[in-house]
Amino acid sequence: MLHQIVYRWDPDGLLGRRGIVPVATSLSRDELFGWHTRTRLADAVTMDYGDPACPASSVCLLDTPLGVALVRRAFTADARRQRLNNSAHVLVGPRDSIAPFDAIAWGALEARAPGALDPDRTPAGYDLRPLADERLAEAFELAAGGLHERARRLGDPLEVFTAAVLRGPRAKVALLPATAEDATALLWGLQHLLTALLPGPWTFSTFEVDDTAPDPQGAPRFVTLPRVPGAGPGTRVRVDLTGRDEPFDAHRELARRMVKYYVGEGWAGFHRLLNVPTEVHTLPEGTRVEEIRSRLDALGARQEARARPREPREPREQPREPREQPRERPEPRAARAEPPEPGTREMPRVPPRTPPSTAPPVAGPATGPIDPNRPEVRCPYCLDLIRWNENDLYERDDRLRYERVDLSTVTDPVKRHDRLRATFMRCPNPAGDEEREHYLPTNYLIHEPPLVIGLIGDGLSGKTHLLAAMIAEIDAGGLRPYGVTHAPVDPDQHQDYLRNRVDPLQRGTMLATTVNHQGNLVQFADALLLRSAGRTRPIAFFDVSGEDLARGGREMQFLAAADAFVFVVDPVVAVDLPELRRLTGDGEDSPGVRRGDRTFAAVMDRLPRTAELLGQPVAVAVTKSDLIRFEPPVDAWLGSHPPRPGRVDPARVAAESRDVYSFLYAHDAVAWLSPFEEFRRCTMHFVSATGARDRDGRFPGGIRPRRVLEPVVSILAMCDMLDQAGVERVGV
């Protein structure tokens, strides 16, 4: 949650001062006093905006001793005072609570931003409520497309701006001449191009009067000036966006190559390559810049070589050939892990595995209302490849029936966004082999191709509780420390899942097992839009009954479209411990009859295999670990926390995987290790969805989930969804 402050002219304000002062807030008086006096917030809001070039609104992002502040400033004509009157709506929160992309998008929408207030009409007092983080996520979704297009139309000034930052990545920069609107788009483009290069807090202001005085501590890194100041230069690097006085050097040439891909057709593939691993920040300044320059030169040359033969339109099948070549060279059997010697706890050393390709699909030619700029998505129900078609949209009525809707006349961007987020597209099923009509949410189709995750395990393994605990943690912001925010794909379905699964579990009620879907389409349990480093990708979770998985009927088609799996191991069944045998109701159970989870083999047999090892990333979750919390090494992991919250440490993930593997092997659960043996990338985790054992269908002491997001974070790392260094080593 983000706290709010409203500034406007007032005789005394909340702090008893005259002028442009705080008049409404969701903070306490002491907190408000701290933000107003201990940060640059007061200067950023109350500075003199009497300059004739003052824009109608501007936005400023500050990094302060108390956290981060996002300021949207509005300027109106005050006839009585015969001057411009400025007011401001301010959002404040801890560091990393407001990402630069979110700040730019929220500011670009001005008064149309989700959650925006009119400072001149907001009632005074301490009654404001904090603003939900999701409001910034909504602003990103609403403004991202337009900002990207505006940035692409500013290729020449973006080239000059990028070159200046390449020359001095730590320098504070003043842009001139530039309007607030152009500055917003240029900052958006720069964030896309040079996120990995910019050290420290990424702050900005789209309007400042002057830069001749030395910058105080915490001043924005990038500021826009309406004109060249009359006095001499201050401490900032001034960049003439016309390019007249900017040198044509190696930095400019490098910037030209980068911007060429940004404004041209090759950006979709080049964007992934610009995410330089952040360990380069530990290098000395000159070495770091040279290292990034050499990497970008190599990446640009490689991309240019690929793009050159594709300038004439080629058949769609040809670009797939590079991804099919590795299938001819399967990994030799000898390179795979062998089980350790009996009695040992050492996990076999496995050579690095190459992650599966995640390159975006190549857009085909336009065909009527189908947008060729949208990604090609595989329907998880019929497995056909489809694209979003605006002429085949539906909405659900109160009886959950799909009714055709025409949005061609809705041109207002706010209304259009609000309507689209609740629409569905009927799958055209091009192959014509699926008699049952099925619909996909628009949010599932218009972003990057979805990440489909299947939870695999027997009926009593705890999949349903684990998924409910995962969604609860994500909904509470558990992925935000990793730089990932979320929004629902289908708001109604998400609320239904929270109401029917998450809320009862958090109230201490044991959940019923997943229903049987025999003969029906298997729908995903919930789906979310995850945003990280300027990318938006749907993630859909399928929780299917163990009986359905083991039977493997046609309703399980989604398995062929799944991008990743969480294999759930029930220690009550898998682990040979006397205290656990009593929980099965069969005290005669012996180690000799342990044959593994029948759903594991059924799923792996169904997946299309084009190499020795299956390519989907997987996480193995030993759920109900609270029942074995006193067993080493479970005791060490179940209560542990990452030493650096929000950072994925590949060595730590590998250490936990090694301990889980050794624990299962040593306790006669070898059959449950098959995912590690059959998939190219795999991590293993001790988790607990409830933290306690139920009693008569209730958790009388409440639930205390433990480490339930570790499998999700590992899968996001293996699927290139985390903008962190070293994630390519997770699961190998």
Give this prediction's pTM.
0.56
Query: 342: which 2 tokens?
Result: 């009996």
> Is a pLDDT exceeding 60 seen at residue 352?
no
How far apart CA 102 and CA 138 sit, in angstroms, is 9
Q: What are phi and psi of 21, to 5 degrees?
A: -135, 165
Query: 358: which 2 tokens?
Result: 């995640």
**Position with higher pLDDT, 281 vs 499:** 499
Beta strands in 570-641 (DSSP E): 618-622
| Structure confidence by residue, pLDDT tens digits, 369-382 | 566 667 789 998 88
Output the CA–CA distances (angstroms, integers) from residue 226 to 49, 174, 500, in the order listed.
12, 10, 55
Residues 6+ apart with CB under 8 A from 139: 102, 105, 106, 109, 113, 114
Span 183-188, mean pLDDT? 90
Q: What are phi and psi of 81, to 5 degrees?
A: -90, -5
3-state SS class at 319: helix
| Structure confidence by residue, pLDDT tens digits, 613-665 | 999 999 999 999 988 887 888 888 987 888 888 999 999 999 999 999 999 99
Residues 6+ apart with CB under 8 A from 669: 569, 571, 574, 575, 576, 594
- Are the C-beta atoms of 231 and 158 separated by less than 8 Å? no
Span 524-536, mean pLDDT? 90
- What is the location of CATH 3.40.50.300 in the chain? 451-729
3-state SS class at 469: helix
Q: What are phi and psi of 179, to 5 degrees?
A: -80, 165
Among the listed ranges 43-57, 633-647, 665-679, 690-704, which one has the minimum average pLDDT value? 43-57
Residue type, 95: R
How far apart CA 618 and CA 711 sit, in angstroms, is 8
> Is a pLDDT exceeding 60 seen at residue 710?
yes
pLDDT band with cut points at 50, 70 and 90 for residue 346: very low
- Are the C-beta atoms of 336 and 353 separated by less than 8 Å? no
> Is a pLDDT exceeding 60 seen at residue 333?
no
CATH superfamily, region 451-729? P-loop containing nucleotide triphosphate hydrolases (3.40.50.300)
> What SS3 string covers 657-675?
HHHHHHHHHHCCCHHHHHH
> Is a pLDDT exceeding 90 seen at residue 679?
yes
Crossing angle between the packed helical segments 180-194 and 155-167, to the nearest 10 degrees: 60
Residue type, 471: I
Span 80-84, mean pLDDT? 52
**Position with higher pLDDT, 236 vs 301:** 236
The string over 272-289, giving b where at least 16 C-beta atoms fall within 10 Å of a residue's C-beta and e elsewhere, is eebebeeebbeeeeeebb
**Position with higher pLDDT, 208 vs 716:** 716
What is the rounded radius of gyration, in angstroms, for the C-alpha atoms of the chain?
28
**Position with higher pLDDT, 606 vs 84:** 606
Q: What is the pLDDT of residue 683?
A: 97
Query: 445: part of which helix (H) or strand (E)?
Result: helix 442-445
Top mean pLDDT of 111-125, 300-314, 542-556 is at 111-125
Average pLDDT of every residue of the chain? 80
How far apart CA 240 and CA 246 sit, in angstroms, is 7
Candidates 478, 475, 514; CA nearest to 491 is 475
Residue type, 550: A
Output the CA–CA distances (angstroms, integers) from residue 48 to 42, 73, 76, in the order listed.
12, 12, 13
Query: 551: part of which helix (H) or strand (E)?
Result: helix 546-551
* Helices within 228-266 (DSSP H only): 250-263
- Are the C-beta atoms of 208 and 224 separated by less than 8 Å? yes
Residues 6+ apart with CB under 8 A from 575: 628, 663, 664, 667, 668, 669
Output the CA–CA distances (angstroms, integers) from residue 561 to 45, 96, 647, in the order listed.
51, 34, 29
Residues 6+ apart with CB under 8 A from 690: 465, 469, 505, 626, 699, 703, 704, 705
